[in-house]
Amino acid sequence: MNRREFIKNSLLLAGSSIIAPAALLGGCTTARIYPQKGPGIDKLLYDGARVMWSAAHPDDEALVGAIMAKSSLAYNNPLYFLILTHGDGGECCRPQGCLPDLATVRGEEMKKVAELYKAELQHEYYYNAPLPVESFPKRHELAKMWNDRKDVTRLYAEAIRRWKPDVIFTFCPVSGFTGHPEHQLASRFTMAGIRMAADSSVDVEGMSAHRVSYVYLPLNRYWPVTALSGQKDAGPVTETWDPTQYCTTGWQCRDIMAHFSKAHLSQNRDMGSVRMVTPLMRQIYLRLIDPFTEIYDPFEPRPEQV
């Protein structure tokens, strides 16, 4: 498929081209540390891995979607999105407004994005803390609010046993890419769900146990993002991935990620910032973790919030 055909078929015909100043093309540097175990994400994708993306909000994939684009569009691998909230605590940037309500609009936008990535979508309705950031409940309080609605760990275990992913991507459980407590919680509940799904002594809807082989954290190591958010994800970089490789004829994976972000029109302010940073993404920084030995309790208060 050439570039013209790709645009025609992408559902996102509207919107300007992504143009970045030459000064933004430098990227940032982090020492590359090769993984101590596992074949590496490139080989996993090439070999047909079933990939799952776990996040708190519709539009979170816009930060790491280049890898999902490679897996699904270049290799036609199965892809699954599990999104916990409808983002109704955010703002509406659509010129025509967000009727009947923001949750409905963002839900429809997420459906379009999942279709673009050729992903199966599970979109839940957990509470999304409303802006401003300063008013957010504490992380452990959010965890209780979510769990009171529906057991989040079991939700993940159910999805994992049903869909049987080989690889799961989720944000850092400590920093959460931008410091958002819901990013951190989605990650922590993901890992708890991975452990439950693998435990054959736990009955989950009568489904057989499934052990996820690889869990990756995409890390925020991009200086414009860290400068704006004041956050830098913790932990070592165990692997890097090149988002400038091509996912389809004439399209780098990072450009597809940026293009697809236009479907999140209600979040155009944030998505516009993501598209400005995209040319900086010469590497995607990953940390391969073991959720069976690295335990992050969703209900554990952050030290500064005790």
Assign residue 86 the CATH number of its domain: 3.40.50.10320
With respect to residue 114, please indicate whether it lies within any of the assigned structural domains.
Answer: yes
pLDDT for 14 equals: 33
pLDDT for 306 equals: 56
With respect to residue 303, please indicate whether it lies within any of the assigned structural domains.
Answer: no
pLDDT for 12 equals: 38
With respect to residue 5, please indicate whether it lies within any of the assigned structural domains.
Answer: no
pLDDT for 39 equals: 72
Position 176 pLDDT exceeds 50 = yes
Q: What is the mean pLDDT of the chain?
A: 87
Average pLDDT, integer, range 222-243: 79
pLDDT for 231 equals: 72
pLDDT tens-place string over residues 177-232 = 888 999 999 999 999 999 999 999 999 999 999 999 999 999 998 766 666 666 77
Average pLDDT, integer, range 171-181: 92
With respect to residue 17, please indicate whether it lies within any of the assigned structural domains.
Answer: no
With respect to residue 235, please indicate whether it lies within any of the assigned structural domains.
Answer: yes
Confidence class of residue 103 from pLDDT cuts 50, 70 and 90?
Answer: very high
pLDDT for 1 equals: 47
**How many separate domains does the chain show?**
1
pLDDT for 22 equals: 29
Range of the domain at 39: 29-293
With respect to residue 116, please indicate whether it lies within any of the assigned structural domains.
Answer: yes
Q: Which position has the higher pLDDT, 264 or 22?
A: 264
With respect to residue 204, please indicate whether it lies within any of the assigned structural domains.
Answer: yes
With respect to residue 13, please indicate whether it lies within any of the assigned structural domains.
Answer: no
Least Cα distance to 222 among 287, 177, 262, 254 occurs for 177
Average pLDDT, integer, range 267-286: 91
Average pLDDT, integer, range 255-267: 97
